[in-house]
Amino acid sequence: MTDAEWAEVRSAMPVPAWLLKRGGRPEAYCHREMLDAVRYLVDNGVQWVAMPVDFPYWRAVYDFFRRWRACGYVRELHERLRRTTRERSGRNTEPSAGVIDSQSVDASETVGEDSRGYDGGKSRDGRKRHILTDTDGLLLEVTVTTADVHDSKAAPALLETFMDQPGRLLKLVWVDSAYQGPALAEAFARHGVRVEVVRRSDGQRGFVVLARRWVVERTLSWLSRSRRLNRDHERRLDHHAQMVWWAAVIRLSRHLAGDAPRWPEKRPGRLLRARA
């Protein structure tokens, strides 16, 4: 992280219990170092044991990742960054409308047969991540299933997980034609959420930008920029979901920091003199 990113993340970070004098053993490593290590793994797609020596020992980083998964800290961090982003753009902290879609990814050999499936529509043998975003494309909720689970079957659980949190104001969700069925309609009606299906026009061929749906497609593209998500390497479904939250945190922290350049700008004059 740059200093500007760390300033944004530090102000939104959950405070560990030991810092609040509520028990627990103090951590041995700086939080910035641990966050940088996990972000490096998610952004570059390396193995845990291949963590560069500039970071803490890989086992300590993995234990940090597991603690944050168990406590839900990374999701809480993203929620705070998301609210800050919406406030700075002059919007309410909680959205009233959202978009749902899914993305199938191939699984590597580390994924067991009991937690993977085949998506015949996308010809993917692996898992599927289902996401809910606001109208700006900011991640609201994510759930991970085997790739053979239909979108309409996974959407109710996705909506329930999001709406069970206090203070939710969601009233309208845009979806594609796959999100239909009685179970899905019942789940949305239970929370008073209206569903609007955005369909392709008859006769359209090739790539077409569809109203509202392009927002969630862009978010899936943002997530895919993190190499750890290009292919599923996680043995557990919840670990895959955590990787999605970490990728979303990386995107938000860079956005809040103004997308500052991470490398010094090239100076052609110096390069020419060096070559001369």
Q: For residue 264, is it within any domain?
A: no
Q: For residue 268, is it within any domain?
A: no
**Residue 261 pLDDT > 90:** no
Place of tokens 């995107």: 251
Q: What is the pLDDT of residue 210?
A: 79
Give the residue with greater pLDDT, 271 vs 107. 107
Query: Cα(161)–Cα(155) distance, rounded to whole angstroms?
Result: 10
Judge whether 98 and 140 are in contact, CB under 8 Å. Answer: yes
Judge whether 92 and 82 are in contact, CB under 8 Å. Answer: no
Cα atoms found within 13 Å of the Cα of residue 128, Cβ hemisphere only: 26
> What is the signed CA dihedral for 27, 30, 31, 35, rounded to 10 degrees?
-120
User: Any idea what the CATH number is for the domain that residue 228 is in?
Assistant: 3.30.420.10
Nearest in space to 62 (alpha carbons), one of 243, 226, 189: 243
Q: What is the pLDDT of residue 274?
A: 38
pLDDT band at 211 (very low <50, low <70, confident <90, very high): confident
Mean of pLDDT over the chain:
88
pTM: predicted TM-score of the whole model, two decimal places: 0.88
**Residue 272 pLDDT > 70:** no
Q: What is the pLDDT of residue 266?
A: 46
**Residue 18 pLDDT > 80:** no
pLDDT band at 3 (very low <50, low <70, confident <90, very high): very high
Q: For residue 124, is it within any domain?
A: yes
Q: For residue 74, is it within any domain?
A: yes
pLDDT band at 234 (very low <50, low <70, confident <90, very high): very high
* pLDDT tens digits, 46-104: 999 999 999 999 999 999 999 999 989 999 999 999 999 999 999 999 999 999 999 99
Q: For residue 273, is it within any domain?
A: no
Cα(first)–Cα(last) distance of the chain, in Å? 35
Q: For residue 270, is it within any domain?
A: no
Paired with 117 in beta bridges are 126
**Residue 139 pLDDT > 60:** yes
Query: Cα(241)–Cα(109) distance, rounded to whole angstroms?
Result: 18
Q: Report the number of distinct structural domains present in the chain.
A: 1
Q: What is the pLDDT of residue 264?
A: 47
pLDDT band at 258 (very low <50, low <70, confident <90, very high): confident
Query: Cα(71)–Cα(41) distance, rounded to whole angstroms?
Result: 20
Q: Which range of residues forms the domain containing residue 130?
A: 3-257
Least confident of 45-49, 105-109, 211-215, 260-264: 260-264
Q: What is the pLDDT of residue 207?
A: 65
The three-state secondary structure class of 275 is helix
Geometric angle at alpha carbon 120, from 114 and 122, rounded to 5°? 105
pLDDT band at 128 (very low <50, low <70, confident <90, very high): very high
Judge whether 227 and 45 are in contact, CB under 8 Å. Answer: yes
> Token pair for residue 126?
């692996």
Tell me how crowded residue 57 is: count the other CB atoms within 10 A of its CB: 13
What percent of the chain stands above pLDDT 70? 88
Query: Cα(96)–Cα(92) distance, rounded to whole angstroms?
Result: 9
What percent of the chain stands above pLDDT 90? 70
Paired with 146 in beta bridges are 127
Task: Provide CB contacts within 8 A for 214, sequence distance 6+.
Answer: none
Q: For residue 82, is it within any domain?
A: yes
Each residue of 235-259: b (16+ CB within 10 Å) or e? eebeebbbbbbbbbbbbbbbbbbee
Judge whether 10 and 33 are in contact, CB under 8 Å. Answer: no
* pLDDT tens digits, 154-185: 999 999 999 999 999 999 999 998 898 888 88
Judge whether 132 and 159 are in contact, CB under 8 Å. Answer: yes
Judge whether 241 and 142 are in contact, CB under 8 Å. Answer: yes
**Residue 35 pLDDT > 50:** yes
